Amino acid sequence: MAGELTRREMLRLGAGTLLAYGLWPGWLSAADAPPTTDFTFIAVNDLHFRDEGCVPWFEKVVRQMKASAPDAEFCFLGGDQADQGLPYQLETVREIFTKLGMPLHAVVGNHDYIADSTRAAYERIFPGQINYAFQHRGWQVLALDTTQGTTSFNTVIPAATLAWMDEHLPKLDHRRPAIILTHFPLGQNVIARPRNADDLLSRCLALNLQAVFSGHFHGFTERTAQQAILTTDRCCSRVRANHDGSKEKGWFVCKASGGRVSRRFVTFNA
């Protein structure tokens, strides 16, 4: 099907249809992408730090993370860093994970709110980490707010996020490989996927998208479109279980190489 459609025709079909067929038009620009440099990073989600009893757990997580990826250059925190959005919870997570010795790139989760309209603690402790983009070794990374306050299911991605994308996506080099980080899952038919997830993905169809890392659903899911992988991961929480019934807690160690992303799950030895 991909060989029979122009990029413009694929863009008209929309994200939902294209994902259903395993297509992603932006991959056509990959051959013209500027050179990139290989690097490793860590992706973890749904820490749900609750109280003092979580401190030794996450100190051990950080030690094992460093051992699992000693050359990692940054760590994604995929939302729900806190369990109740309290300043102490968020501050302690940042303090402990700073010991990784690498930049932390976070997105806000619904549990990082104290109330539906109150996420001031998150914005103070993780400043500038609501909707943002950065480049790393020739790659483009977008970290996006997909929350609707404290609501967990049947949500919509906020209009402010879609407006941010409308403003900033035209400024990006769409040939460069891209990674997207969200809290709520974007893959088709994944539990708790926002109702307007396709509105977000449709804006990204021209990107040379390689990977989407999401959380919220505490379990492993994977959807693919061309070379793009849209995934959720198990949680890494002491106080919360995985929603898919699996027992393992852990994180992804990811490798960006040759314009592609590979990843392996590392099980936390508690």
Give the model confidence (pLDDT) of 114-154 as tens digits.
Answer: 999 899 999 999 999 999 999 999 999 999 999 999 999 99
Mean per-residue pLDDT of the chain: 94
pLDDT of the residue at 43: 98
Q: What is the pLDDT of residue 249?
A: 98
Give the pLDDT of residue 163: 98
Q: Which residues pair with 255 in a beta bridge?
A: 40, 262
pTM for this entry:
0.94
What is the set of domains in the chain, with CATH numbers? 2-262 (3.60.21.10)
Average pLDDT over residues 92-106: 98
pLDDT of 8 reads 63
- Give SS3 for 178: strand
pLDDT score at 14: 76
pLDDT value for 17: 81
Say yes or no to pLDDT of 4 above 60.
no
Angle in degrees, 0-180, between the axes of helices 54-68 and 87-98, rounded to the nearest 10: 30
What are the residues whose beta carbons fall under 8 Å from the beta carbon of 138, sequence distance 6 or more? 33, 34, 35, 36, 37, 176, 177
| Per-residue pLDDT reduced to its tens digit, 7-62 | 566 666 778 887 777 788 888 788 888 999 999 999 999 999 999 999 999 999 99
- Residues 201, 207, 211, 215, CA torsion sign: negative
Q: What is residue 211's predicted lDDT score, i.e. its pLDDT?
A: 97
74 burial level (CB within 10 Å; 0-12, 13-18, 19+):
middle
Distance CA(201)–CA(16), nearest Å, equals: 8
Instruction: For residue range 151-190, list pLDDT tens digits in order.
Output: 999 999 999 999 999 999 999 999 999 999 999 999 999 9
Answer whether residue 6 shows pLDDT above 80. no
d(CA 145, CA 110): 10
pLDDT per position as a tens digit, 193-243 = 999 999 999 999 999 999 999 999 999 999 998 889 999 999 999 999 999
What was the pLDDT predicted at 15? Answer: 82
State the pLDDT at residue 5: 59
Band of residue 250 on the pLDDT scale cut at 50, 70, 90: very high
Sheet strands (E) in 162-203: 177-181
